[in-house]
């Protein structure tokens, strides 16, 4: 019986111990559950609090500039300065400059939007391809280099679109404000030519036909000498036979001379002369002179490579899609190459370039650099007589044939163009600044500061 009681007591003690353990486990589970609920509540409250993702830093008319845009531009400027070893002002001064630049860009992009100016993805891709080609890179390699610096390629791509847009807006709005008179160009050309002549040396040949008491006969002899030379006679031999000049025994060869070293008569008549020119007869008190330029050195001579081409242009529209325009040009070229169609006739019937369509697509002789990059680069890759594949430019879809190439002496035209460009760039910079100031003066601009409002204009 004692053993039985002991067994029963042990049983109850074991049951009580088990109950205590169960209560403890229950309390632990309840505690964990409450702690989990509290954590969830705290997390939910944290989520419920507004989390600022970005802040509006500047109001520009109906647009905004975000704080992140300013920070990103600051980072970009600092990275560029570090790579070039350039010293930068304080962060405060730099931030002011960055904000001013972003305000100017915002106003110009708003102008582009009002004008309906849009840079298509195709035009953007071609610009990026040209940028890569100029660096002897492929587009993929260019992308890898950009991303290797930690720059997001998609963001970089949009920044290029932004730059193209701003550039086009500036050209459209500012170019019409610039006036350059012919007198301004001529004055600058004279200065360019004068500087070029001071540095140049001319290898001069000279024949003198003296009067010998009969001016009329001397003029006839001089005309005959000039005719012989123009027909290909050797200048040195002709000088030995006919010249009365001081260098006759040397074949009329005066050697190389600077314009300040040569006789005044020579300087006056060779001012605009080029290698191979034969000048005269020029009358002086001594007789009639015939002068040639054997060679030049130290003179900047501009040779212009020109192309003669013809093309067909199709402009995409709501009726003619991009794919349809490309396909139609492919069909045209299949027919032309098979001899089933005439390129000029197709251009007259279908080209959307009114200036060349009436001439069978003929663009005539031109410097290829006058064309948009996609058109220029395509021409530069073609052989004479070759047709291109259809390609896209900012104007639309083209096929082009390179008819011929030539090189011409364009020194005079180059100096005129140089003078015009120098004047244009100077006035363009002045007018861009004036135009931007006018836009800013008429805009609503408010710089927002933390906890308050900043400047207004």
pLDDT at position 315: 92
For the 179-200+412-457 domain, the top CATH level (class) is: mainly alpha
Q: CATH 3.10.50.40 in the chain, residues?
A: 201-297, 303-409
CATH topology (fold) of 56-83+90-175: Triger factor/SurA peptide-binding fold (1.10.4030)
Long-range pairs for 324-331 at CB < 8 Å and ≥24 separation?
Answer: 325/390, 325/396, 325/397, 326/390, 326/392, 326/397, 329/390, 329/397, 329/398, 329/399, 330/389, 330/390
DSSP 8-state assignment for residue 222: H
pLDDT at position 5: 38
Q: Tell me if 311 sits within 8 A of 330, measured CB to CB.
A: no
pLDDT at position 345: 95
Q: CATH 1.10.4030.10 in the chain, residues?
A: 56-83+90-175, 179-200+412-457
Q: Tell me if 412 sits within 8 A of 299, measured CB to CB.
A: no
pLDDT at position 260: 67
pLDDT at position 39: 46
pLDDT in tens, the chain (457 residues): 334 433 434 433 444 444 444 444 544 443 444 344 444 444 444 445 555 678 898 999 989 999 999 998 888 888 888 887 777 788 888 888 889 889 999 999 999 999 988 888 888 888 898 888 888 888 889 899 888 877 888 988 999 999 999 988 988 888 888 888 888 888 877 776 666 555 678 899 999 998 888 899 999 999 999 999 999 999 988 988 888 888 888 888 988 887 767 777 887 888 777 888 999 899 988 899 999 999 888 765 566 788 999 999 999 988 999 999 999 999 999 999 999 999 999 999 999 998 899 999 999 988 888 898 899 999 999 999 999 999 998 889 999 999 999 887 656 666 787 778 778 877 887 788 789 889 999 999 998 855 333 455 6
pLDDT at position 452: 38
CATH topology (fold) of 201-297: Chitinase A; domain 3 (3.10.50)
Closest CA to 426 of 101, 95, 90, 188: 188
pTM value is 0.47
pLDDT at position 14: 44
Residues contacting residue 368 through CB under 8 Å, at least 6 positions apart: 305, 306, 307, 376, 379, 380
For the 303-409 domain, the top CATH level (class) is: alpha beta
Instruction: Look at the chain and count its residues.
Output: 457
The pairing of beta strand 63-66 with beta strand 362-366: unpaired
pLDDT at position 135: 86
């Amino acid at each position: 019986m004692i053993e039985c009681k002991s067994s029963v007591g042990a049983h109850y003690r074991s049951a009580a111990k088990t109950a205590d353990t169960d209560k403890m486990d229950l309390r632990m589970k309840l505690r964990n559950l409450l702690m989990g609920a509290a954590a969830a509540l705290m997390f939910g409250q944290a989520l419920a609090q507004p989390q600022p993702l970005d802040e509006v830093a500047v109001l520009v008319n109906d647009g905004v500039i975000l704080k992140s845009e300013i920070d990103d531009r600051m980072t970009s400027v600092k990275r560029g300065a570090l790579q070039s070893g350039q010293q930068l002002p304080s962060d405060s001064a730099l931030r002011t400059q960055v904000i001013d630049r972003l305000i100017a860009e915002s106003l110009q992009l708003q102008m582009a939007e009002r004008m309906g100016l849009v840079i298509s993805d195709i035009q953007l891709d071609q610009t990026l391809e040209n940028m890569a080609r100029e660096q002897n890179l492929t587009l993929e390699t260019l992308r890898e280099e950009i991303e290797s610096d930690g720059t997001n390629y998609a963001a970089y791509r949009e920044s290029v679109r932004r730059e193209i847009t701003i550039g086009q807006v500036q050209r459209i709005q500012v170019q019409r404000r610039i006036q350059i008179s012919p007198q301004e160009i001529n004055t600058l050309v004279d200065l360019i030519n004068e500087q070029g002549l001071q540095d140049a040396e001319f290898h001069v040949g000279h024949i003198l036909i003296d009067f010998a008491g009969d001016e009329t006969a001397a003029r006839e002899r001089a005309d005959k000498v000039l005719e012989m030379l123009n027909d290909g006679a050797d200048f040195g031999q002709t000088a030995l036979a006919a010249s009365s000049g001081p260098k006759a025994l040397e074949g009329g060869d005066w050697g190389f001379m600077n314009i300040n070293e040569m006789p005044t008569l020579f300087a006056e008549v060779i001012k605009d002369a080029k290698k191979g020119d034969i000048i005269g007869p020029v009358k002086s008190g001594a007789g009639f002179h015939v002068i040639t330029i054997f060679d030049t050195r130290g003179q900047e001579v501009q040779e212009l490579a020109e192309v003669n081409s013809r093309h067909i242009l199709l402009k995409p529209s709501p009726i003619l899609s991009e794919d349809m325009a490309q396909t139609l040009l492919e069909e045209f070229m299949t027919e032309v190459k098979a001899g089933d169609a005439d390129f000029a006739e197709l251009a007259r019937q279908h080209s959307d370039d009114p200036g060349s369509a009436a001439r069978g697509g003929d663009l005539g002789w031109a410097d290829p650099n006058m064309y948009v990059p996609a058109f220029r680069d395509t021409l530069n890759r073609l052989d004479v007589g070759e047709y291109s594949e259809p390609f896209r430019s900012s104007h639309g879809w083209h096929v082009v044939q390179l008819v011929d190439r030539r090189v011409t002496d364009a020194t005079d035209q180059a100096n005129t163009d140089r003078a015009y460009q120098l004047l244009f760039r100077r006035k363009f910079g002045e007018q861009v600044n004036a135009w931007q100031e006018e836009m800013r003066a008429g805009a609503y601009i408010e710089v927002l500061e933390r906890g308050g409002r900043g400047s207004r204009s």
